[in-house]
A and B are shown apart, each in its own frame.
Chain A
Amino acid sequence: MARYPSLADSVGHTPLVGLPRLSPSKTVRLWAKLEDRNPTGSIKDRAVLNMIRTAELDGTLRPGATILEPTSGNTGISLAMAAKLGGYRLICVLPENTSIERKQILAMWGAEIVSSPAAGGSNEAVRVAKELASEHPDWVLLYQYGNPANAEAHYLGTGPEILEDLPEVTHVVAGLGTTGTLMGLGRFFGDKKPEVKIIAAEPRYGELVYGLRNLEEGFVPELYDPALVSARFSVGSRDAVRRVRELLDREGIFAGLSTGAVLHAALAQAVRAVAAGERAEIVVIIADGGWKYLSTGAYTADLDDSEEFLDTQVWA
C-alpha cells in the first residue's frame, strides 16, 4: 500500500534492496533495508511513534504535555515531528559534539535544545535528562534506552518486514545505540527463525566521548539483553567512513555514518561465510541517510582528516 491517512501512518514498510556489487557471490549476498525512507529520514521513527502511541494509550502522555528526551539526534528529530503533530512541547538533551545539521533540524521542527557537555557523549545527555526529569516531575521522559515500546517497534515492524521480503535470511546486522533495534529483532527472530544471527555493530568513538571520571559512571541501556545478540563488533570512525564511501561508490546508496559501521561488520560476516563455504543472506540495516553528516566532511575530505575531525564527535 502506498497511500496513508497521514505522515505518521506511513512509517515502516521500507524497501529491502540488493547490494549486488558488494556481495561476494551468488550464495553470499548482502541486502540493505533502507530505513532512511521513514517520515523523518531515520529508523527512529519506528521506535518514537510506537513509544508515543503506547504512552498516549496508557495515559502517561496527555494533551499539551512536555516531552523530554536525551538523544544524539535521530530520536529527537523523530520526536520533534511527532510532537508537532500531537501538540506536545519537546525538549531534547543533545551532546554538544553532534553535527550542526541535527541541531538545525530539531530547531526547524520547534524542539527546544539543552546541550550536554561533549566529554562523556550520550552518557552526559542521559544524566542531564534524568536530572531535569527529577526537577520537573510533570515532564514526560519517554526514555528510549529503557522503554520496551522502542524494541517492540522492531518486533512488530522491522522484523516481520525482513522475514516477509527475505524468508531465507541468515544474518541481520544493525547498529547498537539504545539497543532497541537489536533487541526487537533478536526477540522476533528468536520466536520465528532462531537460526538467524543477530549481529551488533557498535561505533567506537574517540577518547573524549569515553571521558568518564570513573568506571562506575558507565552505562548499559536498561533494554539490553546480550542473550538476544549473536556477536558484537566495535567499529572505529576510519572503517565507518571508508565503508560508507564504498556503499556510495559501488551501490549508489548515500547513507549516514553509523551505516558504515554496520556495513563493516556485515562484510566481515560475508567473508566468514565465504571462507566456511556457507550460504548467507545478510541484511544490513541502513539507519539513516547521509544528509545530516555532510558538514563533517566524511564523504569528501581526506580519510585522515575525516578521522581526525570525527575523533571528538558523537558521529553515529
Chain B
Amino acid sequence: MAVEVRIPTILRTFTGGEKAVHGDGATLLQVIDDIEARHPGLKARLVEEQGLRRFVNVYVNDEDVRFSGGLAAPTSDGDVVVVLPAVAGG
C-alpha cells in the first residue's frame, strides 16, 4: 500500500502518460517529493515558494488540502490524492 496520486491530463508528460502514480509519505509534501524522485519536473508544476501553485487544486480523499494543512496535510497508506487544474464552474 502507498498513497495513490491521480495526475491530470496536462501533467502526464511527467509520468510517461500514467493516470496515477504511487508515493510514500506522512504528508502531502513528502508524497510529492517521493514521486518527484521517479518523475522529475512534476513537483515544480505543483508547488512554488509559497505553497501550491495558484491554478492547482489538490485533494486528499476528496478534501481540498488548502483547508486541511496545505502541503503539510497528513497522508497515509491507502489515501487517494487528486490533482486538478482550477477551472470555472457556474
Contacts and interface: CB of A to CB of B under 8 A. Distances in A.
Interface of A: 70-72, 75, 120-123, 125-126, 144-145, 175-178, 180, 200, 202-205, 207, 209-221, 226, 229-235, 316
A210 B9 CA distance: 8
Nearest to A122: B88
B86 A202 contact: no
B64 A214 contact: no
A203 B87 contact: no
Given A215-B55, A218-B54, A234-B59, A210 B87 contact: yes
Nearest to B53: A215
Given A212-B10, A218-B54, A232-B67, A121 B85 contact: no
User: Taking chain A's interface residues, is the majority helix, strand, or loop, or is none over half, making it mixed?
Assistant: mixed
B45 A215 contact: yes
Interface of B: 8-11, 45, 53-57, 59, 62-64, 66-68, 82, 84-90
Contacts, number: 102
Contact of B87 (A70, A175, A212, A214): A212
B56 A215 contact: yes
A214 B88 contact: no
B10 A215 contact: yes
Given A211-B9, A234-B59, A234-B64, A176 B89 contact: yes
A176 B88 CA distance: 9
A126 B56 contact: no
A8 to B, nearest CB: 21
B9 A221 contact: no
B66 A71 contact: no
